[in-house]
Structure 1
Amino acid sequence: MRYQFITAALAATAALQFAGPAAATDLEVTHWWTSGGEAAAVAEFAKAFDATGNHWVDGAIAGSGDTARPIMISRITGGDPMGATQFNHGRQAEELVKAGLMRDLTDLATKEHWKDVIRPASLLNECTVDGKVYCIPVNIHSWQWLWLSNKAFADAGVPVPKNWDEFVAAAPALEKAGKIPLAVGQQAWQTSGAFQVLMVAIGGPDIFKKVYGDKDAAVAGGPEVAKVFKAADDARKMQAKSKVQDWNQATNLVITGQAGGQIMGDWAQGEFQVAGQTAGKDYTCLPGLGVNAVIQTGGDSFYFPLLKDADKSKAQEVLASTMLSPATQVAFNLKKGSLPVRGDVDLNAANDCMKKGLDILAKGNTIPDTNQLMTEDSLTQVNDLFAEFFATPTMTPEDAQKRFADIVSKAD
């Protein structure tokens, strides 16, 4: 009840703050949130913005960010900008900002003290170019999770694993029970993301930073990363019968007990929630694969292209402010499965897995997201490699590692 009261009161305050005599303004917002959990979360943004007297025009683009981003960029560079658009934290919108196509939000950020409330500070730093703020972070999403179906392990007659090694050891029992040990969607970003998680868990955070941050090709081709490729080979074998395409389809295999687990970001929580499942009862989450408990400071930000229409430009400010308001941060992130970017919100309603993430964040055990460390071009090459590796059993881990080290040596 306390949470509901606080949320309702803050939402009313936000509506009063932005309500005015001006006519309602339609503002198109583009994003790639189309799964069940994602749709429930984005509806919270739309509801909060509509409460200000404006109108959210939903511009959802089906598919992953890899599908949506080229469309978004083409519209902006082609002179047909939307009111606001999603990108991941990091360097994805870097060229658009430098081309002068994105709106400077520095005055709003100063007025509303974003620097004082956004945590960790690196999130706002990722939105800052040459001292000016060009985006607003709305959540913290971390790849560093293994989601496990308690039903699948019960059916297989083995305990729910507590770490990656136990998970690998349980694979034969899962297969004997007719289960897919590891669910993986057949898209490049999913297989590449799984590898990143394995690197942090098996190689450690420092190895991850040296490879993706420092672009250290010697480390990428060295013995510590060789262990990671061995683990990736285990993952490849465990997902051999996982024939689904989209990430949420793979999550559904875990939800329905058809698969033992999935390496996926915390956005998977939204799917478990929509399915009516309870963390700790129906499913188990292992941050850092139960080996290295860290939170990756990835996630989503919204940028606001420059517009000629004065009313829409004003509405952009209202939307930015609304997205960061305490009430909206709570409502959105509870549905999305992500962590809020504000350090001053009440999250008593958080589930077991979100509380684990908040605890790790509070301890400062964080690492950057790859989007914050490498350009889109470099990451595309990495993604393509792991799509091929997971789909080609004849490619040896040694050969894949050599190609990976070569990509790292040329990355920027």
Structure 2
Amino acid sequence: MKALRVVFAASTALCAATAAQATDLEVTHWWTSGGEAAAVAEFAKAFDATGNKWVDGAIAGSGGTARPIMISRITGGDPMAATQFNHGRQAEELVEAGLMRDLTDIAEEGKWKEIVFPSSLLDSCTLDGRIYCVPVNIHSPQWLWLNNSAFEDNGLAVPTNWDEFVAAAPKLQEAGIVPLAMGQQPWQTTLAFQTLLTALAGPETYTKVFGDKDAELAAGPELTKVFQAAATARDLAKDSNVQAWNDATNLVITGKAGGQIMGDWAQGEFQVAEQVAGKDYTCLPGLGVNEVIQTGGDAFYFPKVDDEAITKAQGELAKVMISPETQVAFNLKKGSLPVRGDVDLSAANDCMRKGLDILAKGNIIPGTDQLMSADSNQQVNDLFVEFFNNPEMSAEDAQAQFASIISSAD
């Protein structure tokens, strides 16, 4: 009995010590859909297991809604402990202003340069040789998601590429099915255009336009066919009538729409709905035309704070996020690909395997956030919001405006 009391006392003391060292970390992000919430819960669970506490700071909407709020808090002296941004230059000015924590020591200890693949992900976190963020996934927008039954029940073969999808659209419309689901959030229209550009004009054209700022190419015949395809997509999506991207995904899941151009995060919604990849739905990377993975995705930054306990817990969260176990658990739920090349993804489904295959082949392109400034990207977004919402704007006019934006992009 005495021994039991000693063990109990020791355990109580250990719990008390752990509780005393526990630190609450507010983490802001814009992951609020069903699939996203399931994925972010894996981060929270892994971090809470360290004895600290994840305090969820989800901001409803999208990155376009959340980022200004996040930036305002950081610059206004009310920083969160950690915050999501996309890979690229979105946090560049905050880093330059000295408001973000330098993670170089943690990255070197964890040998991030050896494990992060492709290396461009870590390059996006690096400024003047110092590392300021932890990349957590690879998200590519280059996908077309299809409800198999919507086609098969109407005597159609499930499309294998964009042209077949467009050809099947009239029969879907006759059956009262929206061919292409598309929400009204501004970024969705830009995503659709970028995906069409990469698929129909090719990844080299995409890189020259957004990376090299080739305005002549942007105004040329290669892009003309892309803008014509965008006009077709606009017509196919005219009866979509939803706002959020996940509402558009739900139209596909429920058979009210035939397909959706959307990033691989849509897969999380199919999984929550207990849909089986390759059976209930089909995923076509690169619209079934040019199979590439855009190395966009998400990273977490850690604002500087004058609190030793929070600073210590920030470091623990950074390590947890990139650990092999968390990378597997999070990305399987998110529908994204891991940033590590050394993790076991034997549980990956049909769509994730397609993505991993493309990644292994090296068929990758950078995201536009990695190629252009936030201001230039916003101008592109504004153009495609107008184009997709104004049937009176011709493909020719939109292309001329696009070429002008590219000519002055930075």
Q: Shorter-normalised TM-score: what interval?
A: over 0.9
Partner of 2:83, secondary structure, is strand
2:19–2:51 CA contact under 8 A, matched in 1? no
- Structure 1 residue ranges, 4+ long, deviating more than 2 angstroms after superposition: 19-22
Q: Please, what TM-score do these two structures have when normalized by structure 1?
A: 0.95
Structure-2 residue corresponding to 1:8: none
Aligned-CA RMSD value? 0.9
2 CA distance for matches of 1:371 and 1:256?
33
Q: Any gaps of 5 or more consecutive residues in structure 2?
A: 1-16
- Structure 2: which amino acid aligns with 1:166? E
1:27–1:56 CA contact under 8 A, matched in 2? yes
Structure-2 residue corresponding to 1:149: 147
Partner of 1:261, secondary structure, is strand
* 1:255 aligned residue (253, 263, 266): 253
Q: Give a deviation string over 1:320-379, Cα, whole Å, max 9, x none.
A: 000001000000000000000011100000000000000000000000001101111111
- Structure 1: which amino acid aligns with 2:27? V
Instruction: Percent identity, please.
Output: 74
1:34–1:61 CA contact under 8 A, matched in 2? yes
Partner of 1:70, secondary structure, is helix
Is the deviation greater in 308-317 or in 154-163? 154-163
Structure-2 residue corresponding to 1:199: 197
Structure-1 residue corresponding to 2:170: 172
1 CA distance for matches of 2:366 and 2:129?
20
Structure-2 residue corresponding to 1:332: 330
Q: Give a deviation string over 1:116-168, Cα, whole Å, max 9, x none.
A: 11111111111010000000000000011000001111232211000000000
Q: Give a deviation string over 1:14-66, Cα, whole Å, max 9, x none.
A: xxxxx968521000000000000000000000000000000000000000000
Partner of 1:332, secondary structure, is helix
Q: Equivalences for 1:8-157 in 2 at 5 Å?
A: 23-157=21-155
1:85–1:302 CA contact under 8 A, matched in 2? yes
1 CA distance for matches of 2:154 and 2:216?
42
- Structure 1: which amino acid aligns with 2:82? A
- Structure 2: which amino acid aligns with 1:213? G
1:197–1:288 CA contact under 8 A, matched in 2? yes
The reply to whether residue 342 of structure 1 matches residue 340 of structure 2 is yes
1:191–1:386 CA contact under 8 A, matched in 2? yes
* 1:287 aligned residue (285, 288, 307): 285
- Structure 1: which amino acid aligns with 2:37? A
Is the deviation greater in 283-292 or in 150-159? 150-159
2 CA distance for matches of 1:187 and 1:108?
36
Shift of 1:394: 1.1
1 CA distance for matches of 2:53 and 2:297?
25
Q: Any gaps of 5 or more consecutive residues in structure 1?
A: 1-18
- Structure 1: which amino acid aligns with 2:238? A
Structure-1 residue corresponding to 2:372: 374
1:155–1:177 CA contact under 8 A, matched in 2? no
1:84–1:305 CA contact under 8 A, matched in 2? yes
Partner of 1:156, secondary structure, is coil
- Structure 2: which amino acid aligns with 1:235? A
Structure-2 residue corresponding to 1:236: 234
2 CA distance for matches of 1:381 and 1:102?
26
1 CA distance for matches of 2:211 and 2:304?
31
1 CA distance for matches of 2:208 and 2:343?
34
- Structure 1: which amino acid aligns with 2:263? G
- Structure 2: which amino acid aligns with 1:149? N
Structure-2 residue corresponding to 1:298: 296
1:146–1:263 CA contact under 8 A, matched in 2? yes
Cα distance change on mapping 1:249 and 1:21 into 2, 3 Å: closer
2 CA distance for matches of 1:21 and 1:106?
29
Partner of 1:82, secondary structure, is coil
- Structure 1: which amino acid aligns with 2:244? D
2 CA distance for matches of 1:102 and 1:186?
33
Structure-2 residue corresponding to 1:7: none
2 CA distance for matches of 1:253 and 1:21?
46
The reply to whether residue 212 of structure 1 matches residue 223 of structure 2 is no
Aligned pairs, how many?
394
Larger Rg, first or second structure (1 or 2): 2
1 CA distance for matches of 2:329 and 2:142?
23
- Structure 2: which amino acid aligns with 1:395? M
Structure-1 residue corresponding to 2:276: 278
2:139–2:264 CA contact under 8 A, matched in 1? yes
- Structure 2: which amino acid aligns with 1:141? H
- Structure 1: which amino acid aligns with 2:116? I
Structure-2 residue corresponding to 1:185: 183
Partner of 2:21, secondary structure, is coil
Structure-2 residue corresponding to 1:312: 310
Q: Please, what TM-score do these two structures have when normalized by structure 2?
A: 0.95
